[in-house]
Chains A and B, each alone.
Chain A
Amino acid sequence: MSGALPVAEGLWTDEAEPRLIGGRHAQTGEIVFPMPGGDAAQHYVPVPLSRTGTLWSWTSQDFRPKSPPYAGPEDFVPFLLGYVELPGEVIVETRIEGAALSDLSLGMPMELVLTEFAPGRTTFAFRPIR
C-alpha cells in the first residue's frame, strides 16, 4: 500500500497501528467522529480513538453507488460496511474487511486496518479479530 494516499487528511494517526482521530468536546467531554472542521472545530480537542471495538450493526453494499460522490473503481466489487462501537467513546461507521457476510455477528471484536478502496487511495476499515 506504499505510495497510496489517504482519502482525507486527519482521519487517522500516522503510526504503525493507526487509530482514528475523533474530537472530544471541550465542555461536555462527548466524543465525535470525525474531528469537526470549520467553526465547530474550536469546541473540540482532537483525540486518538481505540483501534479495537465491537460490531454494532452491518450490511452489504451490493450495487455500485452513484459517482459522484463515490470514488471507487468503475469495476465494482460488492463490499461490507457497518458500525463498530469503540467502548466508552463513539460508534463509527466503517467499511468491513477480511470477513464474509455470514461471519458477522452482533458484538464480535473488531480491529482497525487501512484498505485501498480505489487505486492509490486508502481509507479505514475494521476487520474481525482472529
Chain B
Amino acid sequence: MSMTQVQIIGAGIHPFGRTDGRSGRDQGVFAVREALADAGLEWTDIECAYGGSEAAGNADIMVNELGLTGLPFINVSNGCATGGSALASARNAVASGQCDVALAVGFDKHPRGAFNARPGDWGLPEWYGETGMMLTTQFFALKIQRYMQLHGISRATLGKVAEKAFRNGTLCDHAWRRSPVDLDTILNAPMVNDPLTKYMFCSPAEGAVALIIASEKKARELGADGVRIASIAVRTRPPGSFEVFAPAISVDRGGKPTELASQAAYEAAGIGPEDIDVAQLQDTESGAEIMHMAENGFCKDGEQEMWFAEGRTELNGQLPVNTDGGCLACGEPIGASGLRQVYENTVQLRGRGGARQVPGQPKTAYSHVYGAPGLSAVAILER
C-alpha cells in the first residue's frame, strides 16, 4: 500500500494536574481548541477524529461543544495506550488517503491516590487482591529492585531521575509539579515500595492533549509549521515477559513489549537510537525511566549509572530525556499521558520550548509509553 507522508500541524494541551470544577472531557475540548488555533483551522476542517479517556467518559460527546459537523468520531479505549492508539489511528486515516485532516485527542481525570484495580476486571482470582499483592506500584518496585541488583544501579540514581523531572517541571507551563525537590528530600521521603519513595512515583492526575494530523500536501497548502511522523508502533507483550499483575511468571524469560515497539518504530523510520536528539520515556516511577533507557536502545543495561552521573539526559545533555518533567512532574492522566509526550516532542522540534528548549535545533524526537497489562507505543517524529 502506498502511504502518504503525515505531519502533526497543530498541538494543544490543557495543563496537567488538578483542575477542580472542569471535567476531563471539558479539558479535552480545551485542548482541541488550542490545537485548532495552533494549526489555524476551524473545527469544521477536521474530517475524522479518534479519542478517548480511561476514567473520564467517551470522547465523541465532545461534538456537543465543538460542533455537530457529522464527522466520524471513533472512541478509543486502550488503557495506557489510549492516546497512542488514537494517534496511530488518526495517522493511518491520513496515510491511507481516507482523509486529509484528522484529530487525535486524549483526556482524563482520576480520583486522588493510587489506582485501585479489581481482580475480576483483570481475569485474576480474588485472593490476589485480598492478600495485598495487586498493586501497580509493587510491580515497578519488584522490576527495578531486581534490575538494580543485576546491573549495579544505585538508589542515588533513582533519586536523580526524580530530581531531574522536578527541575524540568519548573520550566514547563503544562507541568503539575512546578517546584524543585532536592536529592536528599527525594531519597529520605517515606517509602512506598522499597526502593521507591513517595517522590519517585508519579500520581494519577488530570489533563488533556489534542494533535491535528494532516497529509504533507495539506500541510504545504496551509503553510503549516509541521512535524513529520516518521513512525508509530504499538505492541503487546510477547511470551515470558514480566508485567503488572502477575501472580506468577514463566521461568523461561522472554522479550518485552517496549523492545518490540521500539524495534518496529526504528525499523519503520529507518533510523536507530543513535540518531535520536530528544526522548520522552515512560517514567511512571524513577526506575521505569532507567530501565526504559535500555529497553528503547539508548544505552546498555547498567550504563544508566554513568549516564546520570554525567548528566547525559539533562536538557543540555547528549540525549535529553523527559524534557517537560515527564509523568513524575506532570502526573498521569492515562488517556492523555502518551499524547503529552508527543506534544512535548512537537514543541521541541518546532523550537518552541522556551526555558526548557533543547539546544542545537533537534531534528528527531522519540516518545515511548508503557502500560498494563503489557503494552507499549512508540512514536518517532522528524523535522
Chain A residues close to B by CB (< 8 Å): 7-8, 11, 22, 30-34, 37, 56-63, 65-66, 68-72, 79, 81-83, 85-95, 101, 105-106, 117-118, 121, 123
Q: Which of B146, B194, B249 contacts A60 (CB 8 A)?
A: B194
Q: Quick check: is B310 within 8 A (CB to CB) of the other chain?
A: no
- Collect the chain A residues with CB atoms within 8 Å of residue B247's CB: 33-34, 92-93
Q: B131 and A117: CB pair below 8 A? A: yes
What total of A-B pairs shows CB separation below 8 Å?
A: 117
The proximity string for B residues 123-164 relative to A, scoring 1 for CB distances below 8 Å and 0 otherwise, is: 001111111111100100111011001100000000000000
Stretch at the interface among B48-56, B60-68, B113-121: B113-121
Is the C-beta of B359 less than 8 angstroms from some C-beta in chain A?
no
Nearest CB on B from A63, distance (A): 7
A68–B249 CB distance below 8 A: no
CB of B149 within 8 A of CB of A70, answer: no
Q: Is B263 among interface residues, defined by CB-CB distance under 8 A?
A: no
A2→B95 CA distance, assembly (Å): 67
Q: Which residues of A contact B309 (CB under 8 A)?
A: none
Q: Is the CB of A69 within 8 A of B129?
A: yes
- For residue B248, CB closer than 8 A to chain A, the reply is yes
- Taking a contact as CB atoms under 8 Å apart, the answer to whether B133 and A57 are in contact is no
Partner of B138, one of A70, A81, A92: A81
Query: Contact at B138–A90, with CB atoms within 8 Å?
Result: no
In the bound assembly, the distance between CA atoms of A30 and B191 in angstroms comes to 36
Interface centre among A33, A60, A72, A93 (most CB of B within 10 A): A93
Using A30-B252, A60-B193, A93-B246 as known contacts, list a sample of 17 further A-B pairs with CB atoms less than 8 Å apart, ordered by residue number in A: A7-B127, A22-B248, A56-B146, A57-B143, A57-B145, A59-B195, A62-B192, A70-B129, A70-B130, A72-B132, A81-B138, A82-B142, A90-B251, A91-B249, A95-B131, A95-B133, A105-B149
Which residues of B sit under 8 angstroms from A90, Cβ to Cβ? 248-251
- The closest CB in chain A to the CB of B192 belongs to A62
Tally of B interface residues using CB under 8 Å: 38
* A106-B132 in contact given A33-B248, A82-B142, A83-B142 (Cβ < 8 Å): no
Contacts of A58 in B (CB 8 A): 142, 145, 194
In angstroms, how far is the closest chain B Cβ from the Cβ of A47? Answer: 13
B145 touches A59 (CB 8 A): yes
Residues on the A chain within 8 Å of B142, using CB: 57-59, 81-83
The answer on a CB contact under 8 Å between A61 and B118 is no
B238 contacts A by Cβ under 8 Å: no
Give the CA-CA distance A71 to B132 in the complex, in Å: 8
Query: Is the pair A85, B251 in contact by a Cβ cutoff of 8 Å?
Result: yes
- Which residue of chain B is the closest to A79 with respect to CB atoms? B132
Give Cα distance in the complex from A22 to B250, angstroms. Answer: 12
Whole-angstrom CA separation of A118 from B251 in the bound complex:
31
Tell me, rounded to whole Å, the shortest Cβ–Cβ distance linking B274 to chain A.
31
Chain B CB count within 10 A is highest, among A31, A58, A69, A101, for A69
The answer to whether residues A71 and B130 also contact, given A89-B251, A90-B251 and a CB cut-off of 8 A, is: yes
C-alpha spacing A91/B138, complex, angstroms: 16
Contacts of A56 in B (CB 8 A): 146
| 26 contacting pairs across A/B (C-beta < 8 A) | A22-B248, A30-B250, A31-B251, A32-B248, A33-B247, A34-B247, A56-B146, A57-B146, A57-B149, A59-B138, A61-B135, A61-B193, A62-B193, A62-B194, A66-B113, A69-B130, A71-B130, A72-B130, A79-B132, A86-B251, A87-B251, A89-B251, A91-B248, A91-B249, A95-B131, A105-B149
> Is B190 close to A, CB under 8 A?
yes
Closest residue of chain A to B149 (Cβ to Cβ) is: A106
A117 closest partner in B (C-beta): B131
B130: which of A7, A82, A87 is its contact (CB, 8 Å)? A7
CA distance A72 to B117 in the complex (A): 16
Contact A117 B129 (CB under 8 A): no
Residue of chain A at shortest CB distance from B150: A106
Closest 10 CB pairs of A and B: A69-B129, A59-B141, A57-B146, A33-B248, A71-B130, A8-B127, A60-B194, A7-B127, A59-B193, A66-B116
Query: B117 CB to closest chain A CB, in angstroms?
Result: 8
Best-surrounded residue of B142, B193, B195, B248 (most CB of chain A within 10 A): B248
**Which residue of chain A has the shortest Cβ distance to B134 in the bound complex?**
A69
Q: How many angstroms between the C-alpha atoms of A60 and B252 in the bound complex?
A: 26
